[in-house]
């Protein structure tokens, strides 16, 4: 076999199989593609980002300043800390606490460049491998992603179940969390511009991939790019399901009490020529 040390791509001349480094690593270790991806990408962060974030614990990655955090849970409604109260109100109004399992884990930054921002952790196998910091005020940009020492947003997918026969792919983590609270297996691509890396990872999912980007022009461009990369990577056919027309995004639909599991089940279409023609006719 041959391996390109620059790209990590390999090819077995005996079987004709080929792929990337993560695929061969997952095969040799007997683990899933997602587990292999986490091992390779995030092993270097082991010890830098703790498995459990504790209140006021300074957290850092290489090149990143210390991050001081306080946890925010559903039980903090009586807190006297104005910052935690602000974060709690934001989460409560958007119904982002999972009141069934009470396993929602959020934090608020109390110092540093993320001060005053809600920290949305990305956790898998009880380990936090990434986070996104969302403003609780009028700061711009609305979202901040970790920089040096962390994976790029284009290398990240919000954690999801590999055991389901479908996977809904939306834009941001708050949408993915909203869908998961409603019982939907969902992930997000950190925006509506999917990367080749993310498509490679999603290609390994054995069920249907359902694109669920927003109804706006950016979302439509994202769907087109997704389909282009899907064909480039020889990925299976895609399915599509936009949020209900009367809402702006999946969190809005969740807040309005829409049964998202039933909606996606009944509204998902195969993204093919017939869909494109029918969709064009309905927009004329």
Domain topology for 154-282: Dna Topoisomerase Vi A Subunit; Chain: A, domain 2 (3.40.1360)
Could you read off the pLDDT of 247-276 as tens digits, one per residue? 999 999 999 999 999 999 999 999 998 888
Greater model confidence, 30 or 141:
141
Which residue ranges make up each domain of the chain?
46-151, 154-282
Q: What angle do CA 135, 139, 143 make, to 5 degrees?
A: 45
Kindly state the average pLDDT of the residues 137-155: 88
Please give the C-alpha separations between residue 278 and each of 48, 197, 240, 273, in angstroms, as whole numbers.
Answer: 51, 31, 13, 9
The pLDDT confidence band at residue 52, using thresholds 50, 70 and 90, is very low
Strands 2-3 and 18-19: unpaired
Domain topology for 46-151: DNA primase DNAg catalytic core, N-terminal domain (3.90.980)
Rounded Cα gap, residues 15 and 241, in angstroms: 38
Q: pLDDT value at position 37?
A: 62
Could you read off the pLDDT of 19-47 as tens digits, one per residue? 777 777 777 777 766 666 656 554 443 44
Kindly state the average pLDDT of the residues 173-193: 96
Q: pLDDT value at position 174?
A: 97
Rounded Cα gap, residues 139 and 190, in angstroms: 19
Is 154-282 the same fold as 46-151? no
Please give the C-alpha separations between residue 123 and each of 26, 38, 110, 213, in angstroms, as whole numbers.
Answer: 20, 11, 21, 22
Q: pLDDT value at position 90?
A: 96
Rounded Cα gap, residues 269 and 263, in angstroms: 12
Cβ 263 vs Cβ 233: under 8 Å: no
Kindly report which listed range (29-33, 79-83, 118-122, 156-160) carries the lowest average pLDDT score: 29-33
């Amino acid at each position: 076999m041959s391996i390109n040390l620059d790209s990590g791509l390999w090819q077995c001349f005996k079987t004709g199989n080929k792929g990337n480094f993560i695929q061969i690593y997952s095969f040799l270790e007997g683990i899933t593609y997602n587990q292999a991806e986490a091992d390779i990408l995030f092993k270097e962060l082991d010890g830098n980002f703790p498995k459990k974030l504790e209140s006021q614990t300074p957290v850092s990655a290489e090149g990143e300043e210390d991050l001081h955090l306080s946890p925010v849970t559903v039980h903090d409604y009586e807190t006297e800390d104005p910052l935690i109260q602000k974060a709690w109100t934001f989460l409560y109004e958007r119904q982002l606490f999972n009141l069934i399992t009470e396993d929602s884990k959020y934090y608020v930054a109390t110092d540093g460049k993320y001060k005053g921002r809600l920290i949305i952790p990305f956790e898998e196998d009880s380990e936090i491998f990434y986070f996104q910091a969302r403003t609780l005020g009028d700061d711009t940009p609305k979202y901040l992603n970790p920089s040096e020492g962390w994976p790029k947003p284009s290398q990240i997918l919000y954690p999801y179940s590999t055991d389901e026969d479908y996977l809904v792919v939306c834009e941001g983590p708050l949408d993915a969390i909203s869908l998961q609270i409603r019982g939907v297996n969902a992930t997000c691509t950190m925006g509506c511009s999917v990367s080749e890396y993310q498509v490679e990872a999603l290609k390994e999912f054995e069920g249907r991939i359902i694109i669920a980007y927003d109804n706006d022009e950016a979302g439509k461009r994202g769907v087109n790019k997704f389909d282009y990369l899907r064909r480039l990577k020889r990925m299976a056919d895609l399915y599509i399901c936009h949020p209900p027309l009367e809402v702006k995004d999946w969190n809005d639909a969740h807040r309005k009490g829409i049964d998202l599991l039933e909606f996606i089940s009944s509204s998902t279409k195969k993204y093919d020529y017939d869909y494109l023609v029918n969709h064009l006719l309905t927009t004329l």
